Amino acid sequence: MKLQEYRSKEILARHGVPLLAGEVATTPEEARGAAARIGGPVVVKAQVLVGGRGKAGGVKLAATPAEAEQRAREILGLDIKGVTVRTLLVAPAADIAKEYYLALILDRAAKAVTIIASAEGGVEIEETARTSPEAILRLPLDPLIGLQEFGVRRVGFFLGIPAELRRDFASVLRGLTDAFFGTDADLAEINPLVVTQTGELLALDAKIVLDDSALPRHPELEAMRDLNEEEPAETAAREAGISFIKLDGTIGCMVNGAGLAMTTMDLVKLAGGEPANFLDIGGGAKADRVAAAFRIILDDPNVRAILVNIFGGITRGDEVAHGIVEARSTLEREVPMVVRIVGTNAAQAAEILRQANLITAESLDDAAAKAVAAASGAPGSA
C-alpha cells in the first residue's frame, strides 16, 4: 500500500527527519489559510499516488495566500492519470541549492534491505539508472547489524555531503531507516533531499510503500489508506479477499492463482482479445466469493464476456460449477460466459455447466479463443 506524501512526511518527521511539514487542505479557502499561517512563498502540491503530478500541473508555487487560494482552485479537481485531486499539501517553498536521492528498499535479489543513494536528486531514479548507473550507490544492510556508523559515513561521502551537514545527514538516514523498519515498508524514499540556499538539509518530498502482508499488525497505517485513489471495484475486491486489478479490455477474467490469472490474461491477448482485469479469486473459493467476483467484473461496463478458468486441484470442480451457476442467477447483467474447470470432478462440473447453458472449454487456449469470439459478438448473445 502506498502512502500519500503528507502521510509519509508525518512518519519521517516522527523519526527525526528534518522537513517542512506544511498543512493539508481540501478547499481553496483552507489552502489560503494554510499559506497565511506559514507566511512567505508556499508550494501547493496535489496529493495523489500516481507519478508525474508535476508535469500534469499538480504542483505550483504561490507567493501570497491569495495566490495559494487561486493555485489550489486550479489543482483541486484536476484529473491526474485518472485520479481526481481532492487533497493538497501546502508547504513552505524552499530555495534549493543541491538535490539528492535517498531511499531504502526491500531488495529481493540481495536478500537484504538496501540503501539507494544518488547525488542526482529530483529526477526519477529509473532515469538516473538508465543514463548514469555509476551515479547510484547501492548499499545492502547486513541483516544481523543493520545500519552502522560506517554505513552512514559511506553514503554521506558518496553523496559529497558538506562537512557541516554530516551530522544532519546522519539523522536523515537514521530516521529514514527507522521509519522503514518501523512501518514494515517495501520502500521509503526521499526525493529530493535538498540543501537550501541557507544551508539547511531538508526532505522536500517523500514516499513510503508498505508491505501489504505486514499491514495486519499496523492498524494505524491501514487507517491511512486513501480510498479516493482506489478503483471502487478494487476496494470491493480487497474487502472480499479477492486480488483484482482493473484493465482496459473487454474480457473479464476470473481465475484461481496469480500465475494462472496472468497466464489467462496473456492467452486472451494471444487469441486477439484484451483482458478487462486481473482477478485471482484465491484458494478454496466458495459460492459467495465467486458471486462477489462476478459482481466486481460486471461492474465494468466495458466487459463483453467473462472467462472463468479454475484449476480445481484438490477443490472439487463440481462444487465450483454449482457456485458459478448459483452466482450467475443473481447477476443483474447478462454477458456470455466461458467456463473452464479442470481437476477433480471436472466431468461432473462440465455437465453442470452444460445444463446451465454456459460455454465450456477443455483447454485454456480453447477457452481464451471462445471468450474472444463471444466478446466480439453482440452483447447478450450465446
Partner 1 sequence: MSILVGRDTRLLVQGITGREGEFHSHAMLDYGTQIVAGVTPGKGGQSALDYRVPVYDTVVEAVAQTGANASCIFVPAAFAPDAMLEAADAGLPLVICITEGIPALDMLRVYHVLRAKGVRLIGPNCPGATTVGEAKVGIIPGTIHRPGPVGLVSRSGTLTYEVVQAMTDAGLGQTTCVGIGGDPIVGTSFVDVLDLLNRDPATEAIVLIGEIGGEDEERAAAFCAAEVRKPMAAFIAGRTAPPGRRMGHAGAIISGGAGTAESKRAALEAAGVRVADSPSRIPSLLREAGVR
Candidate list 275, 317, 323, 336; residue touching partner 1; CB under 8 A? 275
User: Does 231 sit near partner 1 (CB under 8 A)?
Assistant: no
User: Does 289 sit near partner 1 (CB under 8 A)?
Assistant: no
* Number of residues this chain uses to bind partner 1 (CB under 8 A): 61
User: Does 103 sit near partner 1 (CB under 8 A)?
Assistant: yes
Q: Is 127 a catalytic residue?
A: no
Q: Is 101 a catalytic residue?
A: yes
The set of cell numbers assigned to 112 is: 537484504
Q: How far is the CB of 310 from partner 1 (least distance, A)?
A: 8
Helix (H, G, I), strand (E, B) or coil at 66: helix
Identify which range of 32-40, 152-160, 170-178, 362-370 contacts partner 1 by CB under 8 A: 362-370
User: Does 344 sit near partner 1 (CB under 8 A)?
Assistant: yes
Let me know: does 76 contact 122? Beta carbons within 8 Å: no
Question: In the chain, at which residue ranges do the beta strands (DSSP E only) sit?
Answer: 2-3, 23-25, 42-46, 59-62, 79-80, 83-84, 88-92, 96-107, 112-118, 136-140, 185-196, 201-203, 206-210, 243-246, 251-255, 277-280, 305-311, 337-342, 359-360
Let me know: does 120 contact 193? Beta carbons within 8 Å: no
User: Does 163 sit near partner 1 (CB under 8 A)?
Assistant: no
Judged by beta carbon, residue 245 or residue 331, the one nearer partner 1 is 245
Quick one: which of 271, 273, 280, 216 has its CA closest to 245? 280
Quick one: which of 13, 45, 36 has its CA closest to 202? 13
User: Does 144 sit near partner 1 (CB under 8 A)?
Assistant: yes
The Cα 160–Cα 68 span in angstroms is: 35
- Active-site positions read 101, 189
The site for partner 1 (CB under 8 A) is made up of 2, 51, 103, 105-109, 111-113, 116, 124-126, 129, 133, 136, 143-144, 181, 184, 186-187, 189, 191, 207, 209, 211, 213-214, 216-217, 245, 247, 255-260, 262-263, 265-270, 275, 278, 283, 311, 313-314, 342-344, 363-365
